[in-house]
Structure 1
Amino acid sequence: MTRCALAVTALAAPAIMGAGAPALAAAGPAAPSPARAATVHGCPSGAFCIYPGTGWNQDRPEYVFYSYGAHNIYNEYGWRNTYNNQYADPPGTYPPTVAYCKGYNGTGGAQFANDYLGEGGFDATPINSIEIIKYTGGGTSINPC
């Protein structure tokens, strides 16, 4: 598997997300995040959730991921809301990065990646998997997809 190096700070740009997309965190290293303690929009603490369409689907995520690594998504087209309710591990550091991969099993290059908590979204049409990458410290470069 070939992996490409990406800088997280250069990837979360509104132009990538398209018109009408939710605002993203400003470029630059994210501040360490406090632990999440509650379920938000039906997304349990410690999970990364994907919802069908642009809404919250009555707080019922379509996908709920807890573990690091690649996770395939199937038959997804158009905009998908996301909620990153993961927590920093270890506490006081940064949350896991989520990369949106064009191929299955975390391959094919990343459309973009984010390392922020809370609401987000992506165009699922070219995406076939997401990869959850644990923060390892020492900078903002990651090697997704």
Structure 2
Amino acid sequence: MRNITKLVAGAGLAAGSLLTLTVGATTAQASVPTDGPAAQTAQVTESTVNQTVKGRGDTYQGCPYKAVCIYPRDKGWNNGHPSNVYWSYGVHKLYNQVGNHIVFNNQSGKAGVWLCKGSNGTNCPSYLKPWTYHNFNLTPINSLKLVR
């Protein structure tokens, strides 16, 4: 799990609140600064977190906003340097992608990505919704299909 701290206005929090997101989890914890020694804490649901973050339009871990990125095998986020970046909707064939790779969908709205066993975008067992990532074994995957 990765923690991301964002300055947010909205999501039911006070303006200027810091929101620490645990990516891949279903909840996040928000800490609201106070004048006293203790900070107030609120739980934020996954849908609220997704709405807040995906609307930001930021590059994250080197993956540009509105792109889908694959990171090198067994390198995690590779210091923010994806090995493959996909921008256009449709099917993209994968070449020499075996083993475990992080695949990150940094698209917005309802733009998703299917990971497909067929090189023509068929037999697609895995889906990533916007602003999510997963560590996939890409050995059986032969294409990505970016959809709206």
TM range (shorter): 0.5 to 0.7
> Residues 17-36 of structure 1, C-alpha deviation per residue, up to 9 Å, x if partnerless?
xxxxx84669xxx8473424
Q: Which stretch shifts more, 116-125 or 74-83? A: 116-125
Q: 2:61 aligns with which of 36, 41, 49?
A: 41
Equivalence map 1:105-124=2 (5 Å)? 105-107=120-122, 109-124=123-138
How many Å separate the matches in 2 of 1:81 and 1:48? 11
Deviation of 1:118 (Å): 3.0
C-alpha change, 1:72 and 1:102, in structure 2 (3 Å) is same
* AA at the equivalent of 1:61: P
Aligned pairs, how many?
103
Q: Which structure has the larger Rg over C-alpha atoms?
A: 2
Rate the CA distance shift 1:97–1:69 in 2: closer, same or farther, 3 A: same
Paired position in structure 2 for 1:83: 104
Cα offset, 1:74, TM superposition = 0.4
RMSD: 2.3
Q: Please give the alpha-carbon distance, in whole angstroms, between the structure 2 residues aligned to 1:119 and 1:102.
A: 18
The equivalences for 1:21-60 within 5 A come to 23=24, 31=47, 33=51, 34-54=54-74, 55-60=76-81
> 1:104–1:129: 8 Å Cα contact kept in structure 2?
yes
Residue ranges of structure 1 left out of the alignment (5+ in a row): 1-21, 89-94, 135-145
Alignment of 1:61-80 (within 5 A): 61-80=82-101
Q: Percent identity?
A: 37
Give unpaired runs (5+ residues) of structure 2. Answer: 1-22, 28-45
Return the structure number with greater strand share: 2
Q: Greater relative contact order (Cα 8 A, min sep 6): structure 1 or 2?
A: 1
